[in-house]
Amino acid sequence: MNHYPSTPLQEQKHRLRTAMREKRRVSANNADGTFNKLAENFLHNIALKKGGVVASYCAIHQEIDPAQLIDGLRAQGHPIALPVITGKREPLIFRLYEQGDRLLINAMGVLEPASTAPKVEPDVLLIPLLAFDRQRNRLGYGAGYYDRTIADLLTRKPVLTIGLAYAYQEIAEIPTGPNDVRLDSIVTEIAIF
């Protein structure tokens, strides 16, 4: 059985994902101070609705780590939530995460809150990515979790979508299809788009 992409768009995205994973792997050792700079850039330039629930993520595979940003948002009074995978083709759900709460490793190796943590609908989604362009298109890992989740949340309420990235993850143009969702903003350690 062939597990490789079959359409030209899927093939283009597959090649780009491979290249960007390698670029991130090679660049990961040069991240000194980057997380703090991203947190400062975000906190000084993006105003969020007071008390709005912010859904973040636990960084994996050399993703930019949002931990310092989360500390700053929590200090501003924002409840923090983390995503939970409920099924392969299902939107993510979100559960509150208090500092020090125990996290469990899911089948994909990602940390997520226990099922006893309260379920919430976020007002803001902080989203990891492999690459982005200045039109705020995002290349993720290919499973479509965030695209499905954003579309699902928007049927019930407005949600602000913000990609978090290293500046070097910017490329000229992300190939997009009909199910790809453009983000509201992308924040790096040096810029906001």
Helices (H), 31-144: 34-45, 67-75
19: pLDDT strictly greater than 90:
no
Closest of 106, 78, 107, 80 to residue 94, by C-alpha: 80
CB distance 125 to 149 below 8 Å: yes
Based on the number of CB atoms within 10 Å of its own CB, is 136 exposed (0-12), middle (13-18) or buried (19 or more)?
middle
Domain boundaries, the chain: 8-187
CB distance 31 to 165 below 8 Å: no
pLDDT at 31: 67
pLDDT at 90: 93
**Average pLDDT across the chain, whole number:** 92
3-class state of residue 94 by DSSP: strand
Give percent of the chain above pLDDT 90. Answer: 73
What pTM was computed for the model?
0.90
pLDDT at 30: 65
133: pLDDT strictly greater than 70:
yes
143: Cβ contacts below 8 Å, ≥ 6 apart: 88
pLDDT at 120: 98
Q: Which CATH superfamily is domain 8-187 in?
A: NagB/RpiA/CoA transferase-like (3.40.50.10420)
pLDDT at 94: 98
